[in-house]
Amino acid sequence: MTDTVFGMTMIVLICALFTAGAVAAVYRIIVGPALLDRVVATDVLIATVMCALGAEMAINHHTHTLPVLLVLAMFAVVGSISAARFLANQDDA
């Protein structure tokens, strides 16, 4: 019984921490004074979602959401590169 209670406590703690990270990232996306702040916050939000999905896969012992993780990683990389190129061109002008 203590393993179950401990396990559920850890799951609640993990969910609370991921939620806090996601809320902080969304706040920075909305309030961020510069475009670069919003881009970094979007990367943090995507990384938080990816970590939450990875934790869910580890807890439930499956790999069904692995393609979702791969697509999120691809969008994060492409989005970061696109934003960096756009901001670099914007600074030159």
pLDDT tens for each residue of 73-92: 999 999 999 988 888 877 65
Q: What pLDDT is recorded for position 3?
A: 66
Whose structure tokens read 């609640």?
A: 12
The predicted-structure confidence for 10-67, as pLDDT tens digits, reads as follows 999 999 999 999 999 999 999 989 888 999 999 999 999 999 999 999 988 999 999 9
Q: What is the pTM of this model?
A: 0.86
What total of structural domains would you count in the chain?
Answer: 1
Structural domain boundaries, residue 88? 2-92
Q: Check residue 42 and give its pLDDT.
A: 94
Give the separation between CA 26 and CA 82, rounded to whole angstroms: 20
